[in-house]
Amino acid sequence: MSNLTIIDIPSPNYDSRPFGTRIDLVVIHAISLPPGKFGTGRVIDFFTNSLDPDVDPYFPGIAGFKVSSHYYIERQGRVIRFVDDEKRAWHAGVSHFRGRDNCNDFSLGIELEGDDFNNFSEIQYQRLNELLKLIKINHPDVIRDRIVGHCHVAPQRKSDPGPFFDWSRVGVELV
């Protein structure tokens, strides 16, 4: 099995998947709060509805949002689980993949601490691939071509994980 350490920090932002839904997609995202700043802990606050809108001028515009992800990988490699795989996290929003709408119904969301302007860390790629191997064990329908970016399922709205994300380093063992 895996030696990957996953820290649980439950988010209230989830609900049930439609009955009988199989998880067969992983959506990779990038987030930093405030934008472009890493290691602040504010992403955790955001996903747990405890973001203080007075801390940064950017926060009042997002403080009331109810958003979550199944997993979050910080730049130093810590992996946090906010929502259990079997529940529907609120990460993809209005989305579409291969003829199916509402990707949250059948996907897992993985947020990486990052943005559109910086390379991701070596340890993030390592942890991401360890996590994807574990996901594959639990959800065998997740194969390499079903690991996509937020930009692929919501291209009119989203650009993440962004141009500095190296897709060639992701899920190569999940073909």
Catalytic residue at 111? yes
Report the b/e string of 96-117 with b at 16+ CB within 10 A. Answer: ebeeeebbbebbbbbbbbbbbe
74, 111, 113, 130: the catalytic one is 111
Q: Which of these, 23, 9, 34, lies nearest to 88 by C-alpha position?
A: 23
How long is the chain? 175
Name the 3-class secondary structure at 111: strand
Catalytic residue set:
111
